[in-house]
Amino acid sequence: MSLTTKSLFIISFGALFVFIFSAIWLNSEYSDAFRTDLKHLILSELIYINPLPSGTKVNAIYVLGGSQTNIEHRYKTASELYHKGICERIWILSRPGITEYSVSLGRNLTNNEWSILKLTEFGVPTECIEPIEVKEGFFGTFTEAKGISSLIKKRGYKSLLLISSPEHLCRAEISFDKFLKDQNTSIYACPVKSGFYLTGVEESDSRALLRDLLVEFIKLKVYQYLLVR
């Protein structure tokens, strides 16, 4: 077993133990105060904010992948930025498969069709929306960062704005930084809460489940210590 494989096994096993223990104990009647404090502590580690300076424009906005509900909120934020003139192009993750049924088309929409439809409903012209195909990988965000960074280098872009949920952006930013840190590319990060910006941990969505934050925290540590070193 290689050192990297062994380290990954130890981290994964330890994370599983912590997750199971937390799931049992944190749902007990004695843990409300501790659960709140722990949630705030984890959010302070996860949330990364690097907003655009006033008057700054970027070459492109990239909306990171996620669940359909989360993506719709991110598309709304991306469209608001587009209408403010911050960029002229919105990149979205090209996703295979189909989604909800379209009465007008008489068939299910593909995921890309659904994405483009949502953005056009928010007022973004079709020609300004570009689905980007990214080779699949085990570590999704890391794979997205590698593929999008390659495209940025190819096109000679010097700025990019990432849009995702607040607890996801730290992991996204360190992934993009790994591939773009020597390219003199400015990376900005915009967290989203129901279509609106966050300016700090104190404004984070209190409805976020602690178990989901714990999983995201574990993923962040795997990225920091194994992938982006």
The pLDDT value recorded for residue 47 is 83
pLDDT for the residue numbered 201: 45
Strand 186-193 to strand 60-63: parallel, antiparallel, or no bridges (unpaired)? unpaired
| CA 153 – CA 147 distance, rounded (Å) | 10
* Residue at token pair 């007990």: 28
Domains located in the chain, CATH noted: 1-47+204-229 (no CATH), 60-199 (3.40.50)
The per-residue pLDDT for 203 is 45
Each residue of 164-174: pLDDT tens digit? 988 899 999 99
pLDDT of residue 108: 94
What are the Cα distances from residue 187, in Å, to 79, 138, 150, 170?
19, 24, 14, 12
Phi–psi pair at 116, nearest 5 degrees: -65, -40
Q: Which residues of the chain have pLDDT under 50?
A: 194-206
Interacting residues of 10 by C-beta distance below 8 A, sequence separation 6+: none
Q: Judging by DSSP bridges, how do beta strands 90-93 and 98-102 pair with one another? A: unpaired
Residues 37, 188 contacting (CB under 8 angstroms) = no
Residue with tokens 């969505």: 205
Angstrom distance (rounded) from CA 118 to CA 121: 5
User: Among 183, 181, 178, 190, which residue's Cα sits nearest to residue 224?
Assistant: 178
Please write the tens of the pLDDT for every residue from 105-134: 899 999 999 999 999 999 999 999 999 999
Residues 6+ apart with CB under 8 A from 52: 58, 86, 161, 188, 190
Query: pTM score > 0.85 for this model?
Result: no
